[in-house]
Amino acid sequence: MHYTWRWFGPEDPVSLADARQAGAAGIVSALHHVPNGTVWPLEDIVQRKSLIEDAGLRWSVVESIAVPEAIKLGSDGWEDLADAWAQSARNLAQHGITTICYNFMPILDWTRTRLRHRLADGAECLRFDRVDLAAFDLHILQRPNARLAYGPALLDRADIRARSLDDTERAALINTILAGLPGSEESYSLEGFRAQIARYDGLGADGLRRNLAQFLARVLPQLAPLGVKLALHPDDPPRPIFGLPRVVSTAQDLRKICAMQDHPANGLTFCVGSLGVRTDNDLPAMLQEFGPRVHFLHLRNTRRDRLSPEDTAQVDAIAGESFEEAAHLEGDADMARLVSIIVKLEQTSGRTLPFRPDHGHALLSDLRQGYRPGYPAIGRLRGMAEIRGIEHALVASYGQRGDTV
């Protein structure tokens, strides 16, 4: 396993030296200052790469080159934007950076409703609460027909929740959903968000899938010969929200995507935390099935709220389940089992897969010094150390050492 760490660039409060001390050998980074749809300049790539290398690390993965909305919508000009996207990837490949993570979620990247959810031990984590999401959708965004999307029990609770929000809580909820979490390349006003949603009217999952297929058909032939490996990140959360289609959520979705271009370069990011929110995603089976197409892993864990039987009956019709980010070995996903599958995959294929520890809990000095939501230094360091422990134990028990660092 290749141990990597997300670094948001020189502005990141967690430094490259911190990442190295935490035990990373590789860095996951992006040129967040380059506007979406613009080709990443070679000189900026060179500069970022040298910063990383001067710290004794390697720029292993790009996360992400953002996919402009016009590509997802298949609207006028999408071809030029896809070519610009491919050109950024070509510029990176010229400097030896060939693993590219991206996502195809309409408008929003990953979404949570609370950024600093306090846990019993005093640590903090991110939380996605379906009641808060519905309250926002119905009463703040006031999306047309939103009431049709939720079951009666959730509607009642969302109405009560919306009435109980004071101004500060209301502003925090808007900001959490629309301002964009770290790594999201866009943020929106309420008005802007409504307008963006309207652009997706009538597209549906089939339309979005068709646009993903045409994007891949355009960029893959330009990139595969250069050794570029695309790694599509799953939807987070893995279901439609705000009436927007999402097509990277289930095993069936991933099968369709792999078939769009039957080439190893058309690959996936296996994000345990995103896929793991759905009970119908059998993670070990999915990792086995899609292993040859997995070029990058996000190892983090989530814990779904335990539901009453009444809620369970409604869950699939509504906003899905509420969940929070768990410590890496403590959520619903069996991390040790997944790491054992990764180690086996590496042994049988001879590949070394990059992974990064993601999210986890904010702990100790994270709480005193502040952190980017989802990117605490100590919480990720703990997750990475725990995963390293599992890998070492497994490799020792197989009588072989893997390429750990």
Residues that bind ligand DNO (CB under 6 A): 63-64, 101-103, 109-110, 183, 233, 298, 358, 374
Compare residues 281 and 340 and give the one whose CB is closer to ligand DNO: 281
For the bound state, the minimum distance from the C-beta of residue 97 to ligand DNO, rounded and expressed in Å, comes to 16
| Nearer to ligand DNO (CB atom), residue 291 or residue 374 | 374
In angstroms, the CA 293 to CA 369 distance is 39
| Residue sitting closest to ligand DNO (CB) | 183
Choice between 32 and 147, CB closer to ligand DNO: 32
Positive/negative CA dihedral, 30, 31, 36, 42: negative
Cβ proximity to ligand DNO: between 102 and 200 the closer is: 102
Q: Give least dist CB 200 to ligand DNO, A.
A: 18
- Work out how close the CB of 282 gets to ligand DNO at its nearest, in angstroms, rounded to a whole number: 21
Q: What CA–CA distance (Å, rounded) separates 254 from 40?
A: 28
Residue 358 and residue 370 in contact, taking contact as beta carbons nearer than 8 Å: no
Tokens 């070679």 sit at which residue? 42
User: Shortest CA distance to 365 belongs to which of 382, 351, 352, 350?
Assistant: 382
Least distance to ligand DNO from the beta carbon of 158, Å?
25
**Three-state secondary structure call for residue 402:** coil
Q: Which is nearer to ligand DNO, 186 or 332 (CB)?
A: 186
Residues known to be catalytic: 233, 271, 298, 358-359, 375
Residue number with CB closer to ligand DNO (185 or 332): 185
Q: Is 105 strand, coil or helix?
A: coil
CA distance 313 to 77: 44
CB 327 to ligand DNO: min, Å? 16
- Cα separation, 379 vs 360, whole angstroms: 5
Q: 372 CB contacts (<8 Å, ≥6 apart)?
A: 8, 12, 13, 14, 182
Report cis status (omega within 30 of 0) of the bond before 64. Answer: yes
Query: How is residue 71 annotated by DSSP?
Result: H
CA distance readout (Å), 290 to 40, 194, 206, 258, 267: 30, 36, 22, 9, 9
Task: Please state the closest distance from residue 32 (CB atom) to ligand DNO, in A.
Answer: 11
